[in-house]
Structure 1
Amino acid sequence: MLLIQSFKVLNLSASKLCRQSIRCLSQHSTNRTDPSHSNVDQQEVDRLSQLAAEWWDPAGRIKPLHSMNALRVPLIRDGLIATGFVPKEQIKSPQVLKDLNILEVGCGGGILTESLARIRANVVGIDPGEKLIQVAQNHAQTIDPNVAGRIRYLVETIEEHSPKNVGIYDAVVASEVLEHVNDKVSFIEHCVMALKPGGSIFITTLNKTNASWLAGIVAAEYVLELVPKNTHDWEKFISPLELKRILSTFNCTTILEHGMFYEFWRNQWSWCSRTDVNYALQAVKQVEV
């Protein structure tokens, strides 16, 4: 709370200094001389890859991601409708996202990827975990071929993918990924790079608060054992305020912010007004003039 209040009283010159600092950090991130640099924590990748065998078990340790689709899919669908990317004749049809191109960054085993393809989006799912991409590809072979035909999986990071695919996606999705990222400025910059002007970036992640430490780590990992221990590092969490500040630096305007609440006793997610643990954002890439 003190941090939020302190930001509210910053004057204009301080805000400009903050934006300049982020741009400098971004330039430093993208101008590294090592072309093999990627924003990947291999320990994080290995930890998630250990869950590959049970990724598609809706009653297993990944079940919160399965049930989260009840919020994530409408968030993306309705967000693209609201920003005018969906023709009127498609809005109430099962083909609502027909012909729209979506990039899912950190797709894991493809839980959200497949759901977006089922409402006719063309989805590219990227992830640095080879085991997880293999799980996603194997599962895609078991579903409707028409749905599978709208999905493409790649073992890539966003830093590798976006320079080859500048401005081609109607939406970029990073769901439950940002809390595992080291260099968030570089990550956001490359997500925006792949986005069309007017397109939307959708993010779900964890706030950096005492409540998120208690709920997201202590309770979820050690008390209730909803996810494996050491899945999260509180130091990598990020507040909505900081995330919106980074997005604005890369010419993106946040148009939606929701809190998310997980009822673990029945494995169900709901929207809420509080953003102190889980939250979702939609930001739109502005057309440069």
Structure 2
Amino acid sequence: MLSRKLLSNLKFLRCFTTNTSIDKNEVEFFSRLSSEWWNETGTFKPLHSYNKLRVPFIREGLIQNGVVDLKYLNTSKVLKGLRILDVGCGGGILTESLSRLGADVTGLDADNEAIKAAENHLKVSNIEGLSYSASSVEHHAIENEEIYDAVVASEILEHVINKDSFIENCLKCLKPKGLIFFTTINKTIIADILGIQIAECIGLVPEGTHEIDKFIHPHELQRILEKYNCQTKLVHGMRYNFLSNTWSWTSDTSINYGLYAVKYN
């Protein structure tokens, strides 16, 4: 009889080879940048400042949809008691911030080097209720079905090759009535010009970070979510000012946008 661990590994191999959303080239690309994750003035500087917008985006979404325990509402641990999965967590920039709000957070990434960077920083941060796993979401979903109150996929959707599979497996991990959060890039000409060509030209992001073909329109993302019985609750534009390294809300979704939805079954 096959052991439980061997069966799990066989399931992972089948999942990885037939229906994976992982782009190996993307993993290799970001692996080369692993030493940069916690350099707040380096390659990932925009992601560090992005937390000032995306953390409240997630927090307020959970509050407004009744996921948060009211007894923690006006405390510094407003997300206490919640389990959150941060898919494509990289070095843990967003993961740590969510954990500091009291949630039990699992950071998930297919890049082993990014997870090592996240775990090394965690040793310094010493945050409770935070763990990391070097894995695909397809593999993670096998043994973690419907256990999370929220799933976060921030700045990862534009790096996967099979968005349908990626979203489906994110939702497998999510409890009914749980929330899924995305921040990503719209598939527009202006996003191509500003988000790729100019951003790479001025050194805002390393050359090869993004490909226009992997961007996704908000309505396309909504359609995939509806396919898996999710209702979109909010779509909002986000704007980055590279001169001041600050993010702000905007009604314009032509470049960056945030979207969250509720899973109904």
TM-score when normalising by structure 1: 0.85
Match of 1:161 in 2: 140
Q: Secondary structure at the match of 1:230?
A: coil
Larger Rg: 1
> Is the 2:185–2:257 Cα contact (8 Å) retained in structure 1?
yes
- Measure the CA separation in 2 of the matches of 1:39 and 1:90: 36
Instruction: Specify the SS of the correspondent of 1:116.
Output: helix
Report the aligned-residue RMSD: 1.4
1:68 aligns with 2:50: yes
Selected match of 2:256 from 244, 268, 278: 278
In the TM superposition, residue 285 of structure 1 has moved relative to its aligned partner by 0.2
| Paired position in structure 1 for 2:40 | 58
- Amino acid across the alignment from 2:242: F
- Hey, what's the Cα distance between the residues in 2 that align with 1:116 and 1:84? 17
1:276–1:141 Cα change, 3 Å: same
Per mean C-alpha deviation after superposition, the further-off stretch among 125-134 and 83-92 is 83-92
Q: Within the alignment, does 1:88 sit opposite 2:70 as a pair?
A: yes
How far apart are 1:162 and its partner, in Å? 0.9
Aligned residue runs from structure 1 range 83-232, under 5 A:
83-143=65-125, 145=126, 147=127, 149-222=128-201, 224-232=202-210
Measured at CA, do residues 182 and 248 of structure 1 come closer, stay the same or move farther in structure 2, by a change above 3 Å? same
3-state SS of paired residue (1:142) = helix
Distance 1:207 1:100 in 2: 30
Give the SS at the match of 1:36: helix
2:242 maps to: 264
Which portions of structure 1, spanning 4 or more consecutive aligned residues, are displaced by more than 4 angstroms?
Answer: none
Instruction: Give the total of aligned pairs.
Output: 253
Task: Show structure 1 runs of 5+ residues with no match.
Answer: 1-30
Secondary structure in 2 matching 1:137 = helix
Q: Give the corresponding residue for 1:19.
A: none
Deviation of 1:221 (Å)? 1.0
Paired residue for 1:46? Answer: 28
Does the aligned pair in 1 maintain the 2:238–2:249 contact within 8 Å? yes
Structure 2: gaps of 5 or more residues? 1-10
| 2:51 partner SS | helix
Q: In the alignment, does 2:239 pair up with 1:239?
A: no
Q: Match of 2:41, SS?
A: coil
Of stretches 53-62 and 82-91 in structure 1, the one that deviates more from structure 2 is 82-91
Matched, 1:36 2:5: no
1:24 match: none
